[in-house]
Structure 1
């Protein structure tokens, strides 16, 4: 007689387990309110950070800063209400919310420095502490910080609180390197481009887990995109190309719209 372990049907069990795992993965993906992390995710994310930087600067110079801040806040609230009202990830709804977070997050960080007179170093430290608090509360409540698990209202609230704080932190950090440390916009952009490669390399080599690698890179996209956007927009005497905040904002907004449209078409095609 053959041993019992050789007569068992392991392949059938393995196939069933794999099938169940795939079904669970597909369900989580369908139920999630955030996009898959792909190359296009990072491209659009960086574009939104740059667009938020220049759009914020454009609005506060075209209108009274208080009016611009109020407008940014109202736009943010409307976009988040829309995002929370849908039951699944819809590209244009999600990325509109991210863009509005970028605009208002930039305004809020700038207001802390310009209006309240808080140094960039102090505001950077403050937003680091604030983000750490968000992550701590999120993890203690949900036992995970994975964006692939954004399937409940509470997790979605934690996620957007973290996103908003990362934008404010990135704005303060970018201004810290450009102004306080005197690197200027272009050098700051290069520095953050090198820095953002660190979590990618660490993840590729297996030195860093997926979740901390993601959030490390996510935070750095803000000063990366903002630094290069400022470099293209500001005057030559400030170390820029003098293309103007309005034109740069418009070009980036068009780029975001095109990519989000392609994402939407791709999702419909796969469905």
Structure 2
């Protein structure tokens, strides 16, 4: 349903632009497919383990990792904003880096400033709600199928950053306050995401809100998976370590991104047809 809606929107935008002689505006984000959610969860896992890896193994410390990742994210976002259309490599590089930065922001508040996970969850939820409100008041839509202006793209990436921070705080709240095992936390968040999907497809829960709720919840899901695989067996993990876990998941992400860059299966059909005709 969401795929058909996005294609209709893209087709309408292209036809309107073509009839008026204007250059059509391309959506700057990918279609929401199975590939999208797989890469999103894997990027989340990489963000969780990579932050720990750079902090512990590279000896950069939280401050050094934060500065480095924020600088890299700024560079990638400049490239993303300057791109005329969605580019899989650029887009997912930004998501992977935001996953690290969002984790560091939330962990910094909790670990270094003593902010409880409950407070962090509430604060990030409120700030995200304010961003959504401002986004809607200005653009009259929160749809990800029309991220085709600088303003909408700015709201989009700010919301993405906040979803990662909120997801991190929520995951910490569940794992630390409720003392759930890593694997149990992963199962819990997977079930909640499944419930959201069921509500969307069976009960007509709004597609926009279904997407953003699931986007937030995939953060603690991926983090729980990453923690389970990387943490020592004595701490309830599988003992693979942050290096092996990060390299393994990053390899899968790179493979999927290359696949999408070649096949363009996450690009709307009208946009693909227009580019082949150009």
Question: Do residues 123 (structure 1) and 111 (structure 2) align?
Answer: no
Question: Do residues 245 (structure 1) and 242 (structure 2) align?
Answer: yes
What is the match of residue 21 of structure 2? none
Alpha-carbon spacing, 1:205–1:227, altered in 2? closer, same or farther (3 Å): same
Kept after mapping to 1: 8 A contact 2:186/2:225: yes
Question: Do residues 40 (structure 1) and 28 (structure 2) align?
Answer: no
1:21 Cα offset (Å): 7.1
Kept after mapping to 2: 8 A contact 1:177/1:184: no
What is the match of residue 96 of structure 2? 99
Greater gyration radius: 1
Gaps of 5+ in 1: 1-19
Query: Secondary structure at the residue paired with 1:31?
Result: coil
Residue by residue over 1:53-84, the C-alpha shift from the partner in whole angstroms, topping out at 9 and shown as x without a partner, is: 10011111132221111111111111111111
What is the match of residue 148 of structure 1? 145
Question: Do residues 174 (structure 1) and 171 (structure 2) align?
Answer: yes
Aligned counterpart in structure 1 of residue 12 of structure 2, from 19, 24, 29: 24
Give distance in 2, aligned partners of 1:187 and 1:240: 11
1:203 Cα offset (Å): 1.1
1:30 Cα offset (Å): 6.7
Give distance in 1, aligned partners of 2:181 and 2:116: 17
Kept after mapping to 1: 8 A contact 2:231/2:241: yes
Query: Secondary structure at the residue paired with 1:145?
Result: coil
Give distance in 1, aligned partners of 2:32 and 2:61: 38
Kept after mapping to 2: 8 A contact 1:53/1:229: yes
Residue by residue over 1:154-213, the C-alpha shift from the partner in whole angstroms, topping out at 9 and shown as x without a partner, is: 000000000000000111111111111101211111000000011210111133011111
What is the match of residue 5 of structure 2? none
Q: CA RMSD in A?
A: 1.9
What is the match of residue 56 of structure 1? 51
Kept after mapping to 1: 8 A contact 2:182/2:236: yes
Residue by residue over 1:220-264, the C-alpha shift from the partner in whole angstroms, topping out at 9 and shown as x without a partner, is: 110111111111001112110111111111111111100000001
What is the match of residue 72 of structure 2? 75
Give distance in 2, aligned partners of 1:197 and 1:234: 26
Gaps of 5+ in 2: 1-7, 18-23
What is the match of residue 20 of structure 2? none
What is the number of residues matched between the two proteins?
252
Give distance in 2, aligned partners of 1:22 and 1:145: 16
Give distance in 1, aligned partners of 2:120 and 2:62: 19
Give distance in 2, aligned partners of 1:244 and 1:160: 30
Give distance in 2, aligned partners of 1:239 and 1:30: 49
Aligned counterpart in structure 1 of residue 232 of structure 2, from 213, 231, 235: 235
Aligned counterpart in structure 1 of residue 81 of structure 2, from 79, 84, 103: 84
Query: Secondary structure at the residue paired with 1:205?
Result: helix
Normalising to structure 1: TM-score of the pair? 0.88
Give distance in 2, aligned partners of 1:216 and 1:198: 11
